[in-house]
Amino acid sequence: MKTLLDVQNLGKRFEGTQVLNDINIKVTEGEFIAIMGQSGSGKSTLLYNISGMDRPTSGMVLFGGKIISKLDDKKMSEIRLKQMGFIFQHSHLLKNLSIRDNIVFPGFKAGRYPRDKINQMADALMEKTGISNVADHDIKKVSGGQLQRAGICRSLINQPKILFADEPTGALNSSTTKDVMNIINKVNTEGTTVIIVTHDAKVAARADRVVFLMDGTIHDQLKLGKYGGENELSREKRLSGWLEKQGF
């Protein structure tokens, strides 16, 4: 399989504090990676630095074989808009716009397809994630789970190669977490590479590989293989045993 994201000797320093140190990781096309670690270990910082939301202070990041960590803001924003999707704990949808308008917005901005086609793609995404019934609702009038699904639809409207998610289920209850993770696993099965930061072992158990960060370095990695074949409980057990060894 081809390497999509290649992180080489990445370091990040904030005002005299070295937060990430010598991070090396290769992510292959179609892979699903979960990043775990104690609070403050540098998980979100790593996600921001490998996705071009922030710049590393040392090392480099290659995306599709091209160095992206040294691109100017304009070029980086274009790559983020057209080739990457982002989901956060809170979906940050635009107020005073409907769910549908929020979802099509980055599609219109990227301008890769005519507006009719983008509207059709938004309809298909809402159908797939079960929010067609609230498509025209104001974002203040839907549930947290529906908002998060809308955030997922928005992140997918430009058919990104990779989806970055920072605690996407952090504000959801366990049943909605399961629904959202089912969607993310499906998107991954259909070919989108996924990198997710999570505190939740049940969420991380959905990934092919779990990376454990400690004090800003990769402490260990666990290969779980593709989700779906193995019994869910035994997979979670394998992960929790490994996490215990990491002191988590």
Ligand X SMILES: Nc1ncnc2c1ncn2[C@@H]1O[C@H](COP(=O)(O)OP(=O)(O)OP(=O)(O)O)[C@@H](O)[C@H]1O
Residues interacting with ligand X, by CB under 6 A?
14, 19, 37, 39-45
Q: In the bound complex, what is the minimum distance in angstroms from residue 233's beta carbon to ligand X?
A: 26
Least distance (Å) between residue 237 CB and ligand X:
23
Q: Give the type of residue at 106.
A: P
Q: Give the amino acid at 21.
A: N
Provide the terminal-to-terminal Cα distance of the chain, rounded to the nearest Å.
31
CA dihedral defined by 171, 177, 200, 13, rounded to 10 degrees? -50
What's 90's DSSP letter? Answer: S
Q: Which helix (H) or strand (E) holds 16?
A: none
- Cβ closer to ligand X: 14 or 143? 14
Instruction: List helix spans (H) across the chain.
Output: 43-50, 73-83, 99-110, 115-129, 144-156, 174-189, 201-204, 232-245
The values of phi and psi at residue 120, to 5°, are -65, -40
- Measured from the CB atom, the residue of 14 and 173 that comes closer to ligand X is 14
CB of 214 to ligand X, least distance (A): 10
Q: How near is the Cβ of 23 to ligand X at its closest, in Å? A: 12
For ligand X, give the closer residue by CB, 45 or 102: 45
Q: How far is the CB of 40 from ligand X (least distance, A)?
A: 4
Q: Which is nearer to ligand X, 55 or 82 (CB)?
A: 55
In the bound state with ligand X, the residue whose beta carbon lies nearer, of 59 and 106, is 59
Comparing CA positions, the residue from 65, 95, 69, 92 lying closest to residue 80 is: 69
